[in-house]
Amino acid sequence: MHRIDTSGNVANRFHPGDPATGQQATLVDQDWLNAVQEEIVAVILGAGIALEKGTNDQLYDAIVALIAGVVGTGGGSAPTTRQILAGGLLTGGGNLAADRTISLAKATSAEVSAQVRDDVAVTPAGLAGLVGLTEVAGAWVIRLGPVIVQLFSAVVGANGTTILTLPQSFTTEARAAFVNGGTAGAGIQDNPPFVNGLGLSTVSVYSALDSSASVNVIAFGR
């Protein structure tokens, strides 16, 4: 294809001519007419339509057919042979003969805690109560799935066992507890406090110090 370039064109555009200024009318030649014809013919043949003299809507039919082969019927719809496919954790989809829904299943808190399924998504709501930090009377209670970690400060008495109440009782098992605090010293009476008992709601700390001492306790359970 090319723009008209014969005598009388103005910037490769047609001009009707102007005798007052001496502007010549644009000469229409066979090169330009053949170029226009073959451009139109190429679209029609490219759509698989045979040329037919006397049929004046073949270019329209060709454009509709070519568009339908890419994006649908020409009426704005996509071809029904196209498909929306689900992958990964997604399910649903299908061909475009009807409306399709893509779904993503979410894990319940129980499923998150069980850590078995691998075909569902974890949401913040699913993690609620399973992973997090809460404060109870100044103590930290950290939940990591079924495991609960408690960190708190307390004061233990001198030369004996002090029973401390956990900030939050364990439900099924108290696994271990550790304590630090006291004073440094070589004598046995100056040994730092240590845990000598653990239950679902209490931890026992023995101190050989001759005076009360502040300690930090960490307890693990579920």
The whole-number pLDDT of residue 31 equals 95
pTM for the predicted model, two decimal places? 0.50
Residue ranges in the chain assigned as alpha helix (H): 30-46, 58-71, 109-114, 124-127
Give CA–CA dist 101/84, Å, rounded.
9
Residue 25 has pLDDT above 90, yes or no: yes
Q: What is the pLDDT of residue 44?
A: 95
Tell me: the pLDDT tens digits for 183-196? 655 555 667 899 99
- Pick the more confident residue, 170 or 77: 170
Q: Model confidence at 74, in pLDDT bands (50, 70, 90)?
A: very low
Distance CA 30, CA 198 (A): 104
Cβ neighbors of 122 (< 8 A, separation 6 or more) are 106, 107, 112
Distance CA 150, CA 171 (A): 13
Token code pair at residue 24: 């010549």
Give the pLDDT of residue 75.
55
Question: Strand order in 83-85's β-sheet?
Answer: 83-85, 90-95, 102-104
pLDDT exceeds 50 at position 167: yes
CB 48 within 8 A of CB 65: yes
